[in-house]
Structure 1
């Protein structure tokens, strides 16, 4: 998998009942904001506050997408993404890495670890759904 570089088209993914998105961030505020947005869009949202929880939840719930912060205690987003990519049952789940740091080095590492996309904090509702819909669409046609 690689970071999406081509222009995003207007892709509209309509959630089916039971589709789960996993939101991983150590900030309750960020998790709450994303959960509210995604729930309003019709998605079931699971939350994890660190990479270890994210790995367990990804394995147990098979989300259609993981939105993961980079900087977290215990196991950071880079480490968790690498482990998720190594497990057969989770390796194809699209992962969008998010960070408040927009430096090119972080974007470089996102590609190296196998994430599908990068999203900056702060984020808008429109950006969240564009990333979600494009990642899910790309995964369905792959």
Structure 2
């Protein structure tokens, strides 16, 4: 397998269908009680309805192209922005149903953009999945605290992208914001 095939496989750019496993193939023995892998594969994935509008805001052309391709393969409409200011304008005028927002952006960063999305009556109810290459847990805590609905660390897999989307779907397969987590009494008294 050459490097190009490995990259295609890593990003899910191969054929749309996987080879069928024979029904008689037993699940691999793990030696322990970990049965998450077979369960995940046997559970059908729930997708948002075709045509769902999703906005990707990231200054990396590679990340935008990767996410856009994954999403379009599932028949979603993808809007793209390479900076926060453009992304905020698209969010306000085109009303996407889900936003993927990078934290590190030129000019306005993702945290400031998220604050503006939450303050604007036209965009405050749009679910936002923050994405970042930073591995610090404090960043993950902070994005949830200021109003993000989920966090995804780069590099991410196709399975992770669709698991994050599925987590935000309502009964009609429409992305919705998650209920706000209650804050401690001393957090509520702290000015924002």
TM range (shorter): 0.7 to 0.9
Q: Kindly state the Cα deviation for residue 26 of structure 1 after the two structures are TM-superposed.
A: 0.2
Distance 2:47 2:139 in 1: 28
Matched, 1:64 2:64: no
Structure 1 length normalisation: TM-score? 0.86
**How many pairs align?**
133
- Look up the match of 1:26: 59
**1:12 corresponds to which of 38, 46, 52:** 46
- Look up the match of 2:176: 139
Q: Give the unaligned 5+ runs of structure 2.
A: 1-42, 180-192
Q: Kindly state the Cα deviation for residue 99 of structure 1 after the two structures are TM-superposed.
A: 0.6
Q: How does 1:101-112 map to 2 (within 5 A)?
A: 101-112=134-145
Distance 2:110 2:133 in 1: 13
Matched, 1:96 2:143: no
Q: Kindly state the Cα deviation for residue 124 of structure 1 after the two structures are TM-superposed.
A: 0.5
Distance 1:10 1:103 in 2: 32
User: Does 127-136 or 61-70 show the bigger shift?
Assistant: 127-136
Inter-CA distance 98–57: structure 2 relative to 1 (3 Å threshold): same
Question: Could you report, residue by residue, the CA deviation over 1:36-90 in whole angstroms, capped at 9, with x for unpaired residues?
Answer: 0000011010101111111101111111100011000011110000000000011
Which has the larger share of helix?
1
Inter-CA distance 141–122: structure 2 relative to 1 (3 Å threshold): closer
**Runs of 4+ that moved beyond 3 A:** none
Distance 2:98 2:162 in 1: 11
Q: Give the unaligned 5+ runs of structure 1.
A: 1-8
Secondary structure of the corresponding residue to residue 139 of structure 1: coil
Distance 1:39 1:104 in 2: 31
Q: Check whether the contact 2:168–2:178 (CA below 8 A) recurs between aligned residues.
A: no
Aligned Cα root-mean-square deviation (Å): 1.9
Q: Kindly state the Cα deviation for residue 13 of structure 1 after the two structures are TM-superposed.
A: 2.8
- Look up the match of 1:42: 75
Please tell me whether Structure 1 or Structure 2 has the larger radius of gyration of its CA atoms. Answer: 2
Which has the larger share of strand?
1
